[in-house]
Amino acid sequence: MTLDTAKRIVREQGEVACKEALAIVRGGMTICEKNVDGSRKYIWVKIMPTKTDEESSIDVALENRRKRKTASNKKKQPRKDLVAIPVENIETAPVMIPKEESPTEETTLSIYSLISKGKQKLRDFMKILDEIVVE
């Protein structure tokens, strides 16, 4: 069913229109699948309009979903032609990295000088902003 036909049917009949027209206008529909153990699984299927009114959009969408599902199941199956190659374990020795026990005076002074330079730059910037702003 085409999108124009579906919209026309929904406009004429409202919410009691056929499920296919409502699904096309909404963009999809929920279907119920029963699992082997009897439990139910509700799945959203995307319904796209077809080029002609003779084709059922729901049938096309379900067929596409079935194809994707079987293709994904084939991907999940292990391939028999793959050969496992054994990997040799390579022993590595840990490397000891010496720790610095305490920060040196030089690094603490450089951090403080960096902070003080940053504060001074901020003060200069604030002065420039105060000159620009006219009250």
Q: What is the β-pairing status of strands 40-46 and 28-34?
A: antiparallel
pTM score, two decimals?
0.46
Q: What sign for the dihedral angle of Cα 58, 59, 60, 66? A: positive
The predicted structure's pLDDT at residue 119: 92
Beta bridge partners of 40: 34
Residue 23 near residue 44 (C-beta atoms within 8 A): no
Identify which has the larger pLDDT, 87 or 56. Answer: 56
Stretch 54-73: mean pLDDT, rounded? 84
- Reduced to 3 states (helix: H, G, I; strand: E, B; else coil), residue 50 is coil
The model's pLDDT over 7-39, given as tens digits with 9 standing for 90+, comes to 888 889 887 888 888 888 888 888 888 888 989
pLDDT digits (tens, 9 = 90+) for 75-109: 666 666 666 667 676 677 777 776 665 555 566 66
Q: What is the pLDDT of residue 122?
A: 93
Predicted local distance difference test score (pLDDT) of residue 121: 92
pLDDT at residue 66 is higher than 90: no
Q: pLDDT band at residue 123, thresholds of 50, 70 and 90?
A: very high
